[in-house]
Amino acid sequence: MTGIPAFDHHSLGQRVLFGTGQARAHLRTAVVDLGASAPMVLSGHSDRAVADAVLGGLAIESRFDDVVPHVPVEQAEQARRAAHESGADLLISIGGGSTTGLAKAVALTTGLPIVAVPTTYAGSEATNVWGITEAARKTTGVDPRVLPHTIVYDAELTATLPKELSVASMCNALAHCIDSLWAPRANPITTALATEGIRALAAALPEVAYRPESIDGRENALYGAYLAAVAFAGAGSGLHHKICHVLGGRFDLPHAQTHTIVLPHVLAFNATHAPAGVERVAEALAATDAIDGLRTLLISAEAPTALKDLGLHEEELDEAVDLVLPAVPPSNPRPVTRANLARLLRDAWSGSLMV
């Protein structure tokens, strides 16, 4: 038996209310707990019906529904003005990662608390990480003001999520887990959270993909997504997330699908230099080989496989390499060069690993 190495881990203070069919009651509990009297609701057009059902008769001060992926600075400023003009004392985000991200952008400058009600498996609700896109460049940061005070998890709220989005969102959560194994602040606690997250998500992915009515599968997916996000918040952004932030911000690629496609390529890239992490991935996937196990899981769920299918052009790959290279964490297990990074991105663009 080996000892535990010294480490520095920060736990984030947050309340989690988890219960299928209990979102409306749990949201009221959270609002009362915070003593709020003028909530502002942020929810995209596509989540309007879900938001109405969750809110019920809850008194709200205002609504903001102009939600755009990657949180363009223009939308952030509009939402901040709306919050100020309405005198909001609480932000309620009901939706996916883009909606949570917009609420975080408002909280970043106003200090307003957030109650997050996720309708996907994005995990942003469990992190203190914010991101804003301006002039095709996505800037991210860490700030305690953006960590939602309370999360309300209800598996029923994900029931109408189309299969393709469910799969991509869960794969995004898998990426949080796997990247956490070698991110800059990785430690035994984040590793344990990530490993359990992989196990839960691997079990839930085929269940949600092919038995969409399964509440058990969706509950496991939310559980795994939460663990993934907490692991990511503790460990920080690794190579995978640096790549995806550049691709999403610069080329406006869909967030979850981009993470899904890039994930197996970063795992394969680091595999020979991170044997302990790769062994954990294989074990959590119940596979003899981590790369083959992840590949099999993604193919079985009909996950997207190539960046070219998302609209990234081959001639844009060189620019992507230029933008990613300065952001690569020095702690990445395998040294990153222009040549091997270019090969990784080209493989992800073509989907060669998934053939």
The CA angle 142-148-154, to the nearest 5 degrees, is: 130
β-bridge partners, 63: 41
Under-50 pLDDT residues of the chain? none
Per-residue model confidence (pLDDT) at position 1: 54
Structure tokens at 249: 């911000």
Question: Where does the chain have alpha helices with state H?
Answer: 23-34, 48-55, 73-86, 97-110, 163-180, 188-210, 215-235, 239-251, 255-270, 275-284, 290-300, 317-324, 338-350
CA 223 – CA 145 distance, rounded (Å): 24
CA 126 – CA 320 distance, rounded (Å): 29
The bridge status of strand 137-142 relative to strand 129-134 is antiparallel
CA 308 – CA 281 distance, rounded (Å): 27
CA 66 – CA 99 distance, rounded (Å): 9
User: Do 283 and 195 form a contact (C-beta atoms < 8 A)?
Assistant: yes
Closest-CA residue to 204 (of 300, 124, 281): 300
Per-residue model confidence (pLDDT) at position 355: 59
End-to-end CA gap in the chain = 40
Q: What is the DSSP letter of 11?
A: P
Closest-CA residue to 70 (of 252, 244, 225, 242): 252
Per-residue model confidence (pLDDT) at position 140: 87
Per-residue model confidence (pLDDT) at position 70: 87
CA 113 – CA 102 distance, rounded (Å): 13
Size (the chain), residues = 355
- The answer to whether the pTM exceeds 0.95 is no
CA 317 – CA 346 distance, rounded (Å): 7
Domains of the chain: 15-158 (3.40.50.1970), 163-354 (1.20.1090.10)
CA 241 – CA 134 distance, rounded (Å): 18
Q: How far is CA 152 from its chain centroid?
A: 16
Helix axes 163-180, 188-210, angle to 10 degrees: 160
Structure tokens at 186: 């990785």
Per-residue model confidence (pLDDT) at position 67: 94
Q: How far is CA 119 from its chain centroid?
A: 12
- Measure the CA dihedral 46/47/52/53, to 10°: 120
Burial class from Cβ neighbours inside 10 Å (0-12, 13-18, 19+) for residue 270 reads buried
**Residue 353 contacts by C-beta under 8 Å, 6 or more apart in sequence?**
264, 265, 268, 295, 347
User: Do 123 and 97 form a contact (C-beta atoms < 8 A)?
Assistant: yes
CA 263 – CA 271 distance, rounded (Å): 12
